[in-house]
Chains A and B, each alone.
Chain A
């Protein structure tokens, strides 16, 4: 809310500089976001928290300053006049929950014209455009007391006035000139034939006060915060009036604000008060009493504030200190402070005025807690991937349905209230983010991309859903990255110490040459190269190699790690050059393992040739087989014999050509 400091000064003497006042308010919880000079006045723009509707009025701000400065207020309360009784029309409240009380005052014979400049200045300084004297007076009273009022042109009202819910698809044109189609959520003010206001939100064009208006019906009311909230949300509108009603307006000040408006209309616009009416009443409530204990206050704030100071602070805030027993105070909170109901609310009041900054900081004793967490696992895995030279990315969890359909994904979770179609579903795969990041960097002419992301994926599962942490690895570059990716995935599996898993070739949408990583007949994840359809679809200039691993499964299947003894006897290797047609390396590996038995140390592919002079469908490989014994040095004769036997066996397989 924007307010004029001169306006506040009408109710409290302020010798302090505007900056000092702004700082005082800020440090008491009414944050002054901007402060600037306007002529002889200073304008303060504040952020009012939703618990303090009393700060949406000049008088409310003056009350706060009175407590902060321990200074007397100069607020004059007008004498309330409730006669004569209004007879010309009746007010009928149909929705008593939506409108517990409704006051109306009929003033006849007014002259509608421009407001005097003092009035204009005051409302303009508080951010409201002047309209005419009548409308400006209602706004002035709203700013001063916090209670919104509304003035109807009485002659445009046909018959009695009703406060009721709108019927479905009833139409209403507001003072802003917009026609709205209402719903049953809307609370309206109507006469016998038409809707004359969207209650508590905006008045109707059809009963607007204009130059020709002579007679005025002045409305003052309490509307239910929830009703106003639903009503204005249904219409997608927020006004100074709805803002206040939604945060609760004061019962006490309703009649005061209305009376002051009547007085001002009579003095500035002329005319005569013809009738007053009041319908509905304030529901009976128990008076609130809060008992606070000073030792508890001290234990809660960690600061000892003397009893006398506590009492002074609360008294200036408008609390009545009713009883004092030893270390306890029985308090009656000010009626305007609907937000105060627990002892802790009182503690905040005391601390706020005492000054948060005066409370000394101390460190608590925190007993050591033992825990092992999945968070820690992800953290060390992240460090591990970084040690492999891979860069971490963070991509959006929310993506578009059309993209997921392109990726042939199903069972994804939709957002019921998306902002845009580009962000309307939760991703069931980390592929979307990986593609985006790679594509962005390829377009920036960065090549050789090595990315990973650790994040959740989300999907539906019969009547339920899953949110699962996954690891994605995405490589792109000029070279074939398939085996490098496989190597990194193997490192990740080694990191978690996963044993006895297998790489199972699989068909996977969007991928060619995909492998499933299978352990205990469950898939831990997969890797592959995205197919040319997708590559084209996303305009990728390079191939993209991608792996995704289920981290919860990895965490679950991980095994404790123990030292395993190794042989210190020399390793001997021999190479085999070989060409394969429709024979897989894994077949050869199995044979080599079996034949070398205990002397098998490992087999590596040190070279792959394809194309060139070699006919298609034939892979030429150079294998390097490592031999080692646990208990002695192998002689070259032994190794040669073993190696020749293996060569011979391999050579006999159909589709294998020794070179």
Chain B
């Protein structure tokens, strides 16, 4: 009997070596441990045996059975693990993701930086009147300073005589007027949105683009604050390494006025094609709000003073991501949209 058990065990050991699948393994289990198997049969014969034999046979049978069970389990684990093996050189499946348009990302990031400083976001209107777009901003009619603000006019009757013709705003500065007319200082506001100018479309011009206007008015807001706020913005948005240069300029709605140049982030000021070998790229216009602008909003320039700034979102996005054609923003090609991730 014991010899037979040994034989069974040996043949099991040989057979399990040849097993390749879980099905075969199951067949093997049935063969050796099933109801009709030798081992099961042997167990059922134990009660018929002599007492001494019983103990010994029982011991051997149990040991053999345990061994088989153990080996079957081991084999099952090995076989299962083998099944997991697939060709992982197959490329990953495409995963669809929602994406914010890069201009929304950049605009949101810029607004977020100013929000940290305590600015709030209020949008203006795209259809504006001449008063808000020009006169209130100290841009007189028939003045060369209007030339940079070529404007689309609309076939709408004026809302009131003193507000002039209706148009598509050519900059976000009228938001300044709208907010200052409605709310009293202290004020710190950024206003993003679409603006329109009759420009021929090419790689760097578009008849529609985006700007962010920002302004801050209180009793003691000064030019040094303007510099501080814009330094904070540029360092947060680009990098802590960037330098800014405030260059005197002229805007009818600010005095003193400045254009702000950023040390070229591509060549770090050494000169390259992006900065036309100047080492600096212009990123925004700013200044102290002109007293006439405050007056137009019924805010006394004797009591209050403030600064304002405005920047083009496309320009900033193009600099940040080295995008070379403004038309890409409005073509909405997936191969463009999918390149950007919010950070």
Contact = CB atoms under 8 A, between A and B. Distances in A.
Interface string B161-204: 00000101000000000000000001110000010101110000
B157 A463 contact: yes
A366 B215 CA distance: 12
B305 A356 contact: no
B188 A369 contact: yes
Size category of the binding interface on chain A: 35 or more
Contacts of B154: 413-416, 426
Nearest to A303: B224
Interface in A400-444: 413-419, 423, 426, 436-437, 440-441, 444
A361 B228 contact: yes
Given A348-B248, A356-B258, A456-B126, A415 B104 contact: no
B71 interface: no
Contact of B122 (A375, A393, A415, A436): A375
Interface in B258-297: 258-259, 288, 290-291
A367 B118 contact: yes
Nearest to A419: B198
B332 A440 contact: yes
Contact of B99 (A28, A302, A361, A391): A391
A441 B332 CA distance: 8
Contacts of A52: 250
A449 B335 CA distance: 12
B153 A31 contact: no
A300 interface: yes
A386 B98 contact: yes
B98 A423 contact: no
Given A361-B228, A392-B99, A415-B152, A373 B122 contact: yes
Contacts of A426: 127, 154, 168
Contact of B198 (A361, A366, A373, A417): A417
B333 A444 contact: yes
A368 B330 contact: no
Contacts of B200: 419
Residue among B145, B199, B227, B230 with max Cβ neighbours from chain A (10 Å):
B227
A499 interface: no
Given A344-B255, A348-B257, A414-B155, A396 B223 contact: no
A50 B98 contact: no
Interface string A357-377: 101111110111101011110
Nearest to A448: B96
A538 interface: no
Most buried by B among A344, A347, A359, A397: A344
A51 B153 contact: no
Contact of A394 (B96, B232, B246, B332): B332
A368 B119 CA distance: 8
A146 to B, nearest CB: 15
A26 interface: yes
Interface string B102-137: 011000100000000111111101110000000000
Contacts of B142: 225-226, 229-230
Interface residues of B, number: 81
B334 interface: yes
B153 A416 contact: yes
A389 B98 contact: yes
B98 A390 contact: yes
Interface in A243-282: 246-247
Contact of B223 (A247, A300, A460): A300
A192 B120 CA distance: 66
A362 B258 CA distance: 17
B229 interface: yes
Contacts of A464: 159
Interface string B235-259: 0000000000111111000011111
A49 interface: yes
A246 B168 CA distance: 26
Nearest to A34: B276
Contacts of A417: 152-153, 198
Contact of A393 (B101, B153, B222, B230): B101
B97 interface: yes
A302 B224 contact: yes
Contacts of B9: none
B144 interface: yes
A11 B66 CA distance: 111
Contacts of A446: 334-335
B202 to A, nearest CB: 12
Contacts of A77: none
B329 interface: yes
B220 interface: yes
Given A356-B246, A444-B335, A398 B207 contact: yes
Contacts of B333: 440-441, 444
A347 B256 contact: yes
Contact of A450 (B96, B155, B222, B338): B96
28 contacts: A27-B248, A28-B248, A29-B248, A31-B259, A50-B147, A225-B143, A301-B224, A301-B256, A344-B288, A347-B288, A352-B256, A359-B227, A360-B227, A362-B225, A364-B216, A364-B225, A368-B118, A369-B186, A371-B120, A389-B96, A391-B99, A394-B104, A397-B208, A413-B156, A418-B152, A441-B334, A458-B126, A465-B156
Given A369-B188, A393-B337, A419-B198, 5 more contacts: A344-B291, A348-B256, A356-B246, A382-B104, A394-B329
Interface of B: 96-101, 103-104, 108, 117-123, 125-127, 142-145, 147, 152-157, 159, 166, 168, 186-188, 194, 196, 198-200, 207-208, 216, 218, 220-225, 227-232, 245-250, 255-259, 288, 290-291, 305, 329-335, 337-338
Interface of A: 26-29, 31, 49-52, 225-226, 229-230, 246-247, 299-303, 342, 344-345, 347-348, 351-352, 356-357, 359-364, 366-369, 371, 373-376, 379, 382-383, 385-398, 413-419, 423, 426, 436-437, 440-441, 444, 446, 448-451, 455-456, 458, 460, 463-465, 467
The 3 closest A-B pairs by CB, nearest first: A302-B224, A29-B248, A386-B98
